[in-house]
Amino acid sequence: EAGVAQSPRYKIIEKRQSVAFWCNPISGHATLYWYQQILGQGPKLLIQFQNNGVVDDSQLPKDRFSAERLKGVDSTLKIQPAKLEDSAVYLCASSSAGQATEAFFGQGTRLTVV
Amino acid sequence: TQLLEQSPQFLSIQEGENLTVYCNSSSVFSSLQWYRQEPGEGPVLLVTVVTGGEVKKLKRLTFQFGDARKDSSLHITAAQPGDTGLYLCAAHFGNEKLTFGTGTRLTIIP
């Protein structure tokens, strides 16, 4: 079974530029998560989808971050414009519906804003 | 805002020693998970606990869920260099939002 796919693996941009990340979850998984992980810290949930609806986006900086999950399958996360403090690893995860289910993670996209 | 506090934040011990890391919250959660993350990779699930007071063992790792379901611990016996990594607890709160703890970075010295 294929895992969660993310691209790109690495991205370097200048501040005020825009960037987009892509995630393809495990087939059949209804729930998709985007996390931001600052070096040495635990992942911080940015947005959680259930199929193509948003379950939680309370920690998504909506003035610059946006995410969509069209057709309830793959998802994109965009930052526009980027700030230096956005430098982090962006992790995508998916799980089948329901609590206590395992979240499967992709390898992440390491973003550096200079 | 992180609702799950982990301690210690960093831990470096010699191979063969035992250790315990903790995950605490002021809120009750319906289930709690422990993940391990290695550099350049996403977190990987180790265990899920759902019942207050539950104890689960995974080889040299012992996981305990507090009776009040507000805390958990991970105990490693006879640590090995392969145990090195970032250990994360995670829980579902309220509307099934999956929240991670602050993490414990463990280094086992050969």
DSSP class of residue A47 equals: E
Instruction: Look at residue A35 in the predicted model and tell me its pLDDT.
Output: 97
The answer to whether residue B28 scores a pLDDT higher than 90 is no
CA distance A108 to B91: 21
Judged by CB atoms closer than 8 Å, whether chains meet at A103 and B98 is answered as yes
Count of beta carbons in the 10 Å neighbourhood of residue B7: 13
- Which of A6-10, A34-38, B9-13, B91-95 has the least mean pLDDT? B91-95
Residues of A in contact with B31 (CB under 8 A): 99-100
Average pLDDT score over chain B: 92
Q: Which residues of chain A have pLDDT under 70?
A: 1, 98-99
Structure tokens at A65: 């971050």
Question: Phi then psi for B50, rounded to 5 degrees?
Answer: -130, -15
> Could you tell me if residue B69 is left (phi over 0), alpha (psi between -120 and 50 degrees) or otherwise beta?
left
CA distance B78 to chain A (A): 25
| Confidence at residue B3, expressed as pLDDT on a 0 to 100 scale | 82
How far apart, in Å, are the Cα atoms of B59 and each of A97, B69, B77? 29, 23, 9
Task: Check residue A38 and give its pLDDT.
Answer: 94
A91 to chain B, minimum CA–CA distance in Å? 7
* Inter-chain CB proximity A48 and B45 less than 8 Å: no
Mean pLDDT of B32-38: 95
Closest CB from A31, A45, A105 relative to B42: A105
Determine whether the interchain pair A108/B98 forms a contact, defined as Cβ–Cβ distance below 8 Å.
no
Residue B13 has pLDDT above 90, yes or no: yes
pLDDT range class, residue B2, cuts 50, 70, 90: very low
> pLDDT of B49-66, one tens digit each?
988 999 999 999 999 999
Rounded to an integer, what distance in angstroms lies between the CA atom of residue A71 and that of residue A84?
Answer: 32
Q: CB B31 to CB A103 under 8 A?
A: no
